[in-house]
Structure 1
Amino acid sequence: MKADIAIIGAGLAGLTLARELSEHANISLFEKARGLGGRMSTRRRDEHRWDHGAQFFTARSRAFKALLKPFIASGDVVEWQPNITTLSPCQPAYKRPWFEPHYVAAPGMNSLLKAMSPGLNIALQTRVETLQQHNGKWRLLDDKGAELGEFDWVISSAPLPQTQVLLPFAPDTWADFGMLPCYALMLKVNDSDLPVWDAAKVNDSSLRWIAFNHRLPGRNRELGAVVAHSTADWAANHLEDCQDTVRNQLTAEFCALTGVSPQAVKEAQLHRWRYALATEVTKNALGHDPSGYVLDSERKLAACGDWCLGGRVEAAFTSAHQLAARLKQQGF
């Protein structure tokens, strides 16, 4: 008889786990958001789209390249070859080279996840709030107290702070992991009002990254859509500030860095990512524990995600891929 496994979170890690374990177990995915994606989400407003989390990804491991190969063939994933620059308030801009292929999903970053999801049992807008042990299994309850089912295994692919609250691991389990916040500023700006470059790495500023989202492959170039990410330090210092003030400050910084007139900004939105980037503690811990996941085989609990391996998109896949291999090796 197949084991029943609940996976919390339907981002890249959760979907990877589900796909790799579906032949060996009965899988149920629970996602609190309205759609797939996690930090590979796409925000929509009218006809405009912003990839307000991950902007691109690389593929360095053989396993991740193998996952992407059919989606590259189908056009769901496309290599991105942008004109990249480096900006600073105090120094002239200069061209920034890239030395490896960079990819985006098309027409939005969540398109890869949509292409991975057919055939999977996914419950959207379902927040898992409580785990209870019952007759040797784990009973899941949502945020309204409704029962979601009983499962042999529970695996969280949610961000670290949410996983810490949900899974009953010892506090020192999480000592080597941490996450930092980030703001995503989303602007409507006509393409004709923007510089000729496509994206910028920013130094010495409250912003660290700017991309003209509508110029990514598969997007509508006529609908100017800008995404700018703050630094983690700036976000942490302003996390609870008035969000209108934060939005205005970051918009002013964008205009100052790029030379875009404030009058050219037709609309500005803000998204506060409380859990966006892996801390240096996590990165330093990788040399000591390269497993890339957290596992309690006796109680049948586990966790995985990009926060286990340094925060990149590929890290989310690798963490889930390694956990799936371990579970298949030891059996259920």
Structure 2
Amino acid sequence: MNEHGIVAVLGAGIAGAAAARRLSESGLHVRVFDKGRGVGGRMATRRVGGMQFDHGAQFMRARGPAFAAELDRWAQRGIAVPWAGSDRYVGLPGMTEPVRALLAGLPVSRATTIVRLRRQRSCWHVEDASGTVHGPFDGVAITFPAPQVATLLAASGVALPGIGRAAYAPCWSLMVATDASPPDVLIEPRTDPVGLIAHDSSKPGRPAGCRLTVHATPDWSRRHLETPREAVVAELLGAAEDVLGTGLRPSYAEAHRWRYARVETALQKPCLYDPDLRLGAAGDWCLGAHIEAAYDSGEALARGLVADLGRPA
């Protein structure tokens, strides 16, 4: 096997970043592709003027030794800090920062949507939405949400059995800047329509001011998946005011729809991987609905690829 193999990593969220870093540190070359203008996936930070909102994942927790060690390394570097309890960590200056750290120095093609995989002899090529074909690659690691993995595989005429069992809930996320008195750092009523209210600016290293992120419940988000954004903003804003017992008088209010937000049915296996094809997929949908699951899954997929490309993991 090629000692200097190159792997295409599709997706630059935490699973893709963990896989890419493990592959690189094991002596393989990687190239990362992501459809977004930035990296991080649902570990997202939106900046608007001097404001910022963690409008995706709110914090990280470590349950197992691998992610606990990584979280400790991030803490030592000052890119992860405790928030709202000693076991909750956030990225610094935003939730995206740990993903940026994992991808530092690696080639990342942003705003590049991969729509098809092509197998030629023992190598892979990947085709983007513009028709550009990239490659050859010795292996492919896909770290999209499971429904997007399934779509890509179907368009490519290949399969990874089991992918269809994973299921997600959507989430509408409301970002609000207000001059109202800040609430508690984190409130989780979990009663339609409000699942969570996070006081973003209470997180360490954030700009001053009162900024809130409101996550709608899964059921409400499903029912309103195609509701116009303006109507979602109005309804979630009113519901948040009811929960908080105060008017918010927002100077800024915007909503973001996460179509694949939270894993509801995971495969309960580290990743999907075909060693004959050197093709695999990873994500939180493999192990569970948290950042650590995505990280562990990306690492597991990388170990399989490293083993088959002739390097010890």
Q: Are positions 1:272 and 2:257 aligned together?
A: yes
Work out the CA distance in 2 between the residues paired with 1:246 and 1:65.
37
Distance 2:271 2:233 in 1: 35
Counterparts of residues 292-307 of structure 1 (less than 5 Å): 292-307=270-285
Aligned counterparts, 1:59-78, within 5 A: 59-78=62-81
Tell me the amino acid that sits aligned with residue 135 of structure 2: G
**What amino acid does structure 1 have at the position aligned with 2:166?**
F
Deviating beyond 4 angstroms after TM superposition, the runs of 4 or more aligned structure 1 residues are none
Q: Which residues of structure 1 form unaligned runs of 5+? A: 83-99
Please give the per-residue CA displacement for 1:32-79, whole angstroms capped at 9, x wherever unaligned: 111111000101111100000000010111111111222101210001
SS of the counterpart of 1:38? Answer: coil
Does structure 1 residue 10 correspond to structure 2 residue 27?
Answer: no
Q: Identity over the aligned pairs, expressed in percent?
A: 34
Could you tell me whether the CA contact under 8 Å between 1:194 and 1:260 is conserved in 2?
no
Give the one of 26, 40, 44 matched to 1:41.
44
Matched, 1:250 2:241: no
Q: 1:34 to 1:230 in 2, by over 3 A?
A: same
1:209 equivalent among 196, 202, 215:
196
Q: CA deviation at 1:24?
A: 3.0
- Check if 1:156 corresponds to 2:142: yes
How big is each residue's C-alpha offset from its partner over 1:177-220, in whole Å with a ceiling of 9 and x where there is no partner?
A: 11110010000112x5333x111011322111100101111112
* Contact 1:182/1:272, CA 8 A, preserved across alignment: yes
Residue 174 of structure 1 aligns with an amino acid whose one-letter code is I
Give the Å deviation of 1:328.
3.0
In 1, Cα distance between the equivalents of 2:143 and 2:190?
A: 32
* Residues 59 and 90, structure 2, Cα contact 8 Å, conserved in 1: yes
In structure 1, how many angstroms separate the alpha carbons of the residues matched to 2:275 and 2:134? 22
- Aligned counterpart, 2:213: 227
Q: C-alpha offsets along residues 123-158 of structure 1, whole Å, 9 cap, x if unaligned?
A: 111111111222332111110101222212111111
Aligned ranges for residues 253-332 of structure 1 at < 5 Å? 253-262=239-248, 264-279=249-264, 281-282=265-266, 285-286=267-268, 291-332=269-310
Partner of 1:94: none
Structure 2 CA distance, aligned partners of 1:242 and 1:119? 40
Give secondary structure in 2 for the equivalent of 1:260: coil
Q: How far apart are 1:171 and its partner, in Å?
A: 7.7
- Cα distance in 2 between the residues matched to 1:205 and 1:188: 22
Q: Name the stretch that deviates more: 266-275 or 22-31.
A: 22-31
Aligned length: 304
TM-score (norm: length of structure 2): 0.92
- Structure 2: which amino acid aligns with 1:7? V
Is the CA contact (8 Å cut-off) linking 1:179 and 1:278 kept in structure 2?
yes
SS at match of 2:240: helix
Task: Read off the aligned partner of 1:149 and give its amino acid letter.
Answer: G
CA distance in 1: counterparts of 2:238 and 2:148, whole angstroms: 33
Instruction: Supply the distance in 1 between the matched residues of 2:72 and 2:160 (Cα, whole angstroms).
Output: 39
| Letter matched to residue 263 of structure 2 | A
Distance, in Å, in 2 between the alignment partners of 1:306 and 1:171 is 16
